[in-house]
Amino acid sequence: MLNVFSDKLLVVTVATKETDGFTRFMKSAKHFNYSVKVLGRGEKWQGGDYMSAPGGGQKVRLLKAALDKMKDEDRIILFIDSYDVVFASGPKELLKKFQQAGHKVVFSSESLIWPDRHLQDKHPHVKEGNRFLGSGGFIGYVPNIREMVSDWTGEDDESDQLFFTKIYIDPAKRKSINITIDSKCRLFQNLNGALDEVVLKFEDGRVRARNVLYDTLSVVIHGNGPTKINYLGNYIPNTWTFETGCTVCHEDLRSLTAIKSEYPLVVIGIFIQQPTPFVTVFFERLLKLQYPKNRLKLFIYNKVKLMQTIVFWCWCMNTSLSSFSDMCRKDEDCDYFFSLDIEVVLKNENTLKILIEQNLPVIAPMITRAGRLWSNFWGALSADGYYARSEDYVDIVQGRREGVWNIPYVSSVYLVKASLLRSELSDFELFNSNNLDPDMAFCHNVRSKVSRRRQGIFMYVTNMQSFGRILSTENYQTNHLHNDLWQIFENPVDWEERYIHENYTRIMKDKLIETPCPDVYWFPIFTDVACNHLVEEMENFGQWSGGGNKDTRIQGGYENVPTIDIHMNQVNYEKEWQKFLLEYIAPVTEKMFPGYYTRFDLAFVVRYKPDEQPALRPHHDASTFTINIALNQVGLDFQGGGCRFLRYDCSITSPRKGWALMHPGRLTHYHEGLRVTEGVRYIAVSFVDP
């Protein structure tokens, strides 16, 4: 048997630069008390670009030189990559499995052959598992590894994979050095070609990567596939567990409360690339950000002509997207670049502070779309670099797992350190690509182009707080004056926040429904903005009825009690108004008038003017009950007005803007519209029938 001891093991890796991936690797090594020797620090990487062509010869050269200096012939070397590797277990398990392999050198294995497919038939067959050698990780004794690399005379950019493969497929060398491969992934798990084989296994406060094909738990996880190592690294070895939650989310923070001088300067780039609802609200929220305004610089990229009347300042309207990050890059005072799309509803006023304090290179606040699983991040990538759903995506989006997550794609809103823009991300065309949209181009460039050795800069998303949501813009129509009024279906949450009175949700609980006259109920329903928009929309349409009895808009063509009005269907607002009535009026009517099924009939806006139609004669409404919403304010917009119920000799002479009167229409509540003596009065009327 092999006599192995943990103090004989040395992990050797090559890292010419301390990237985010290297930091992650070293943290996992420290967690399990591995001794690590790093080769190549400070050297320029000349080992080629793995993403487009074979390379890695520089690693073999550095290893060969290091082995020549090692005198302990009993030492065991674990030679692995570091930028895309994490440890899932400690030296004891690694050495035990190495001993059980029964060879002096054990390589990781892969199901795919690379870089020379013509060598496939020369690989020895295995009883079970992967057949092909992977050069990203191997373990063995110093003399055997020294013999293996002794013939290396190649250039730094030549293929280490091909070099070791040719040794392995040579029967004589394979026997002399005593090489085998870890075909069932007991020591090493390469992710290339194995994305669907590997799942997380949670056990006793730690997390492992389980190969479901061979039912093995690997010690070393090597992310030589698209991005699954980042997903696994969010958990392995104990970064996040069900028992503890996130164990690293509060490490290496940058405290803003400890800053005695000025806050970091943030350049905010706002992107308007399509017609978007609630733009005014967006800027109102932006002003509420809890961050010193003198430490913010604002730039707006606007491709939408319609928005020019709404956006109060538009800088560089026709410039490229990359120009905004370049503004921060060239401004020596800029500390962060905050990219923010106009469709983002940023509800958390402390968002900027929270992101800055996380002290990460690129970080996004998680935002979602109301009622859907859509979010502004991807949990994984497919083999061709597009969207793939990670195993934990739904749990993260729905908040069942909270943390700071390393992910391959973010969009819509994210914070970037300016120091990165001036160094690793110095490429001016950061947002540009021949076949990718700007967000995908940015993420691709951050993941790939910034480093010739993969896994350059990590991007993160945090869901440790609630930050907001994103608007739906797909069906946003722009053919009205106030297009946001029509958003009750597409963006119901934002529509409610904009147009429904802030006290509406309290009217039942806090008994805010008043009874100014018998069986007449009065309650808040609309905001001032809703009232203003509805009035302005009707005046913009302008086709008020003449106030005569003949009315072709209604069934029968005759109106017994005519008013100067515009019907909701004339402005194509009938469906939206029906939705409003069902969502917000029906719960009240069914409470006040139990037993009636709420079915809405006619809806219209009435205008009263002293020189046009100042009042309305006594009448019954053609309804079981009526909803009457005051759209402007007595004493400010008009004088006089109101409603008198004759049977009870009860008048409401001070209607409140945005409040609804609800009263029976037929039989008992014979009523009249009181005279308007000055100004213009507007009301929105709906007839309700059982």
pLDDT of residue 690: 53
* CA gap 509, 425 in Å, rounded: 54
Q: Residues 187, 109: contact at Cβ < 8 Å?
A: no
- Which helix (DSSP H) or strand (DSSP E) does residue 272 occupy? strand 265-272
pLDDT in tens, 7-39: 899 999 999 999 889 999 999 999 999 999 999
- Residue 209's DSSP bridge partners are 200
- What was the pLDDT predicted at 308? 52
pLDDT (tens digit, 9 = 90+) per residue, 621-633? 988 889 999 999 9
pLDDT at 450: 44
> pLDDT: is 572 or 205 the higher one?
572
Predicted pLDDT at 557: 84
Of 61, 146, 469, 681, the catalytic one is: 681
pLDDT (mean) for 132-137: 96
Instruction: Name, in order, each residue with C-beta under 8 angstroms of 36's C-beta and a sequence gap of 6 or more.
Output: 10, 11, 12, 13, 26, 29
Predicted pLDDT of residue 452: 45
- The pLDDT score that the predictor gives to residue 582 is 93
pLDDT for 451 equals: 43
Give the pLDDT band (50/70/90) at residue 478.
very high
Q: What is the pLDDT of residue 395?
A: 97
pTM, two decimal places: 0.91
Assess whether pLDDT exceeds 50 at residue 318: no
| CA distances in angstroms from 306 to 302, 303, 491, 664, 674, listed in the order given | 10, 9, 20, 44, 41
Cβ atoms of 151 and 94 within 8 Å: the answer is no
pLDDT interval class at 463 (50, 70, 90): very high
**Burial (0-12, 13-18, 19+ Cβ within 10 Å), 566:** buried
Alpha helices by DSSP H, listed for 267-422, are 279-287, 322-330, 351-358, 393-397, 418-421
Strand duo 625-630 + 659-664: pairing = antiparallel
User: 134: helix, coil or strand?
Assistant: strand
Nearest to 264 by CA among 243, 283, 291: 291
- What integer is the mean pLDDT of 284-301? 94
Confidence of residue 440 (pLDDT cuts 50, 70, 90): confident
Residue 629: which of 608, 651, 606 has the closest Cα? 606
pLDDT for the residue 119: 96
Residue pointed to by tokens 């070791």: 164
Q: How many CA atoms lie within 13 A of 674 on its CB side?
A: 19
CA distance 624 to 666: 6
What does the pLDDT read at residue 428?
A: 61
Q: What confidence score (pLDDT) does residue 227 get? A: 57
* Residue in the block written with tokens 């932006």: 286
* pLDDT value, residue 384: 76
Report CA-CA distances (Å) from 389 to 77, 378, 392, 396, 558: 37, 7, 8, 11, 60
pLDDT confidence of residue 508: 85
Q: b/e map of 656-688 (b: 16 or more CB within 10 Å)?
A: ebbbbbbbbbeeebbbbbbebeebbbbbbbbbb
Sign of CA dihedral 105, 110, 116, 120: positive
DSSP code, position 612: T
57-68 and 142-149 helices cross at what angle (nearest 10)? 130
> In terms of residues, how long is the chain?
690
> Does a cis peptide bond (omega within 30 degrees of 0) precede residue 237?
yes
The pLDDT of residue 316 is 43
Is 681 annotated as catalytic?
yes
The reported pLDDT for the residue numbered 258 is 83
Domains of the chain: 1-225 (3.90.550.10), 266-470 (3.90.550.10), 483-688 (2.60.120.620)
Question: Which residues does 172 contact at the CB level (< 8 Å), separation at least 6?
Answer: none
Q: Is the pLDDT of residue 314 over 50?
A: no
Check if the beta carbon of residue 209 is closer than 8 Å to that of residue 190. no
Q: Taking the mean position of all CA atoms in its chain, how far away is CA 190?
A: 29
- Tell me what the pLDDT averaged over the chain comes to: 91
d(CA 130, CA 267): 50
Span 540-576, pLDDT tens digits: 999 999 888 888 888 888 888 899 999 999 999 999 9
pLDDT recorded at residue 453: 45
- List pLDDT tens digits, range 629-664: 999 999 999 999 999 999 999 999 988 999 999 999
